[in-house]
Amino acid sequence: MKKIVVELGERSYPIVIGSGLFSSLLSGSSLQSGEVVMLVTDDNIASIYLDFVCKSLSDFGVSVDQLVISSGESYKSLSMFEYIITELLKKRHNRNVILIAFGGGVIGDLVGFTAATYQRGVRFIQVPTTLLAQVDASIGGKTGVNHALAKNMIGVIYQPISVIINLDFLYTLPSREFSSGLAEVIKYGIAFDSDFFAWLECNIENILNLEVSSLFYCVRRCCELKSFVITNDEHDQGSGVRALLNLGHTYAHAIESYFKYSQEWLHGESVSVGILMAANLSCMLGYLCDVDLKRIRSLLSRAGLPISPPKTMEIGDYLSYMIRDKKNISDDLCLILPVSIGHARVCTNIAHRLVKESIRGILGDM
């Protein structure tokens, strides 16, 4: 078991990473015997793990309530947020309740947003079950829901009191979902750590095969990098380092919004294409070299991720969503671009013409 602390003063919290007995991970968290929790999960996770986790919590001495909702990005909505609030009120939960987000990034964002707003704020714990959530979405306190016109436009930064990562949950994750999470893993290497990127190039097949030591190091390193970022720039201000986590995401959110958050394009699949478009733009601007672009494309492909954009989207479709991105000021696009493997920068006032060319360049590779 490994414990990483996100250092935020009085709001510091542990990330506990391990496998095997779930109760041992609970003992390393901020949860205490005698607490009252409301566990929220989706129907996919509930069918496999709900009884096991609820029993582990009960054996730990916690009073457990539970709520199962439908799975999918389309349910990260205001209507589902209202439904969870209604259930909390019906069950007469007060400010002492601890919400547990048991699932992927959708559950984590939705439950975290609920915790931030229910009775002006209650505690919550992240128990991520997907690779994407374990390495990225569960850490840092970004919570919220989607709007039909743009992703993640409604939300707040609200930190959990613990993140409990059980690697065993990944063994039942569908291969497509697992590869989707690898887009965020690769993002860390591109934006922050060239040595980690090189390690991924050597070990990507081991990770895909769920080799224990490689998987553990992969998740641990991502959590270390994310913890460093949050500690230094919790609210996306100051150093601006947190903005770099959005590498590829402005393009990606356009794809997800276009497909109305359906399963046709998963978040990580969209991020993969978005990273390539951002890298292509960086090459056009003279920052990223062709060799690094080829390394990025190769690793994404080896991870089982798409390197070609959706065939049904036209170039204009991207811009109509990208101009609504929350990082923008007025109609000026703000994009995160890799300048070399291990380094990225925030680029502002990007001309729409250049963005279209960066997309057209990837289309030309199809």
Q: What is the pLDDT of residues 15-29, one digit of tens each?
A: 999 987 677 788 888
Q: Tell me how far apart the alpha carbons of residues 198 and 310 are, in angstroms, rounded to a whole number.
A: 28
Determine the longest span between alpha carbons in the chain, in angstroms.
60
Q: What pLDDT, on the 0 to 100 scale, is given for residue 234?
A: 92
Is pLDDT above 80 for 111?
A: yes
User: Which backbone phi and psi does 230 adopt, to 5 degrees?
Assistant: -65, -40
Question: Burial level of 27, CB count in 10 A (0-12/13-18/19+)?
Answer: exposed
Query: In terms of DSSP H, where are the helices of 136-211?
Result: 175-191, 194-208
Least confident range from 32-41, 271-280, 313-322: namely 313-322
Q: How many helices and strands, by DSSP H and E, does the chain display?
A: 13, 11
Amino acid type, 236? D
Residues 6 or more apart whose CB falls under 8 angstroms from that of 339 comprise: 282, 287, 288, 345
Compute the average pLDDT of residues 102-123.
97
- Within its chain, how far is the Cα of 261 from the centroid? 15
Confidence at 364, pLDDT banded by 50, 70, 90: low
The two three-digit tokens of residue 127, written as one number: 């128990």
Please tell me the distance from the alpha carbon of residue 244 to that of residue 187, in angstroms, as a whole number. Answer: 9
Q: Which long-range contacts (C-beta less than 8 Å, at least 24 apart) are formed by 6-11?
A: 6/139, 6/140, 6/159, 6/227, 6/230, 6/231, 7/227, 7/231, 8/159, 8/230, 8/231, 8/234, 11/159
The encoded tokens of residue 195 equal 């040595």
Helix (H, G, I), strand (E, B) or coil at 6: strand
Percent of the chain with pLDDT over 70: 96
Mean local confidence (pLDDT), 243-265? 93
Helices 267-284 and 175-191, axial angle in degrees (round to 10)? 30
- Which two three-digit tokens encode residue 210? 């769920």
CA angle 246, 286, 189 (to 5 degrees): 35
In which region does residue 164 sit, left (phi positive, over 0), alpha (psi from -120 to 50) or beta (all else)?
beta
Tell me phi and psi for residue 26, to 5 degrees. -60, -40
**Identity of the residue numbered 64:** V
Is residue 293 a contact partner of residue 358, using CB atoms and an 8 Å limit? no
Residues constituting the chain: 366
pLDDT at 292 over 50: yes
Which pLDDT belongs to residue 329?
56
Q: How much is the pLDDT for 366?
A: 43
**Closest C-alpha among 360, 364, 337, 338 to residue 348:** 337
Query: CA-CA distance, 138 to 128, in Å (whole number)?
Result: 6
Q: With a cut of 90, say whether residue 135 has pLDDT above it.
A: yes
SS3 at position 351: coil
Question: 280 falls in which pLDDT band (50, 70, 90)?
Answer: very high
pTM: 0.92
Question: DSSP assignment, residue 338?
Answer: E
Instruction: Of 35-49, 92-106, 252-266, give the lowest mean pLDDT range.
Output: 252-266
Reading the block at residue 287, the tokens are 């920052």
